[in-house]
Amino acid sequence: METGSLETLLLLENYIEDGVKTRKWLLELMFQTLDKINNEHGPPTNLADKLDLSNRRGIVQIDIIAKLMMYIEDLIIILEANKKLDGNYYKVLDEKTPDLGERVTQFIESIDGLSTEDYRKMLCYENPRNFGLDDSKTQILEKLTEWNTKELKEFLPQVRKFRKTHAQIFRRYKHAGLPIRTGLLLVDDQIPYTYKRFDSCAAVFAGPQPMNDIIILPYSTEVIQGYRHFATGVETFIYEAVENKIICLERKIDGGIPSRVSSYFSENPLSEKEKIELKAISEILNNRYPSWRSGTEVRIHQAQLNSTLAWYVELDSFLGLSRSKPSVYGNYQ
């Protein structure tokens, strides 16, 4: 296997085994924190109580949004890398121009012009007719390939809408100053000019005139449920795109078959008989394109350690200066 393909394979495996699990765990931790706040607090009994609950909910909500925005970046960079760079998403991360945010924006703004072949490349699918299978097997693969690409095609506009809605909020959260006011209550629980009702909201100061350039971020149980459902969609297509690319690299093929049935918007389109047939097709193609693996290890030079771990290498010195002062976060046991 060529060095570039091997590096891509290792990085994708690292992402699927550690990266996406980390994203998922941290996001779930925030949802659990929100559940804990709601369960421990109970129904507010007075205005001060209601303001306190709204404030705590709003703080966690902002962090959930930030994690979803980072999840979106993962998905888009992986899809673009599959489409243009044979899955080498690390090359996209390392490019200086355009920067990552602009690259994600360019991709999202171009989704209306993506072709059927583009969607197949992003999910690492081969045209089913190129496998030379009999008609019945080919039809099953065509049905599943078209289904999954349709699901992604329907989901990406939702990604675009979510990112546009929260871009300024995310920017204000991750940069200095945190110009966000949480825990605000709505008159009649309703945002003006909308028919939706919410429990509370946050105000994000997002322009050159902060008292006028304000983005309203509403909170409700339905909003949080929407975040959970959206995260499920992002994860669904990340796993499909990455796992398929890993299979292609292992077997030295340009495209494979769907590794799962996407049922994000609708139920599984395959009958029980077709599901059994799909397993047989997978077995045929696995035997035709066997996996090739080679032992690998990551080598880190001493010079890299010295330059990148400076804070940790000199930690004793820092603690010696600060140990006499108590930490507001307590001590690690």
Cα gap 193→218, rounded to integer Å: 13
> For residue 271, which amino acid is it?
S
Q: Which residues contact 85 (CB under 8 A, 6 or more apart)?
A: 91, 92
The first and second tokens of residue 262, run together, are 């996407």
pTM for the structure as a whole:
0.84
Q: How confident is the model at residue 43, as a pLDDT?
A: 79
Q: How confident is the model at residue 330, as a pLDDT?
A: 60
Q: How confident is the model at residue 265, as a pLDDT?
A: 64
Q: How confident is the model at residue 77, as a pLDDT?
A: 93
Q: Which residues contact 232 (CB under 8 A, 6 or more apart)?
A: 264
Q: How confident is the model at residue 302, as a pLDDT?
A: 55
Q: How confident is the model at residue 267, as a pLDDT?
A: 74
Nearest to 69 by CA among 168, 135, 137, 143: 168
Q: Encode pLDDT of 204-217 as tens digits.
A: 887 788 777 888 88
Q: Are 83 and 122 in contact (CB under 8 A)?
A: yes
Q: Can you name the residues that pair with 201 across neighbouring β-strands?
A: 184, 218
Q: How confident is the model at residue 211, as a pLDDT?
A: 76
Convert 145-168 to b/e letters by CB count within 10 Å (16 or more is b). Answer: bbbbbbbbeebbeebbebbeebbe
Q: How confident is the model at residue 188, as a pLDDT?
A: 60
Q: How far is CA 307 from CA 230, 303, 311, in A?
A: 39, 6, 9
Q: Which residue in this structure is represented by tokens 């002062």?
A: 325
Nearest to 292 by CA among 248, 245, 250: 250
Nearest to 71 by CA among 236, 263, 266: 236
Residues of the chain where predicted confidence (pLDDT) is lower than 50: 193, 294-296
Q: What angle do CA 313, 316, 317 make, to 5 degrees?
A: 95
Cα gap 80→115, rounded to integer Å: 13
Cα gap 79→107, rounded to integer Å: 9
User: What count of Cα atoms within 13 Å lies in the side-chain half-sphere of residue 196?
Assistant: 12
Cα gap 14→293, rounded to integer Å: 15
Residue % of the chain over a pLDDT of 90: 41
Q: How confident is the model at residue 187, as a pLDDT?
A: 61
Q: How confident is the model at residue 105, as a pLDDT?
A: 92
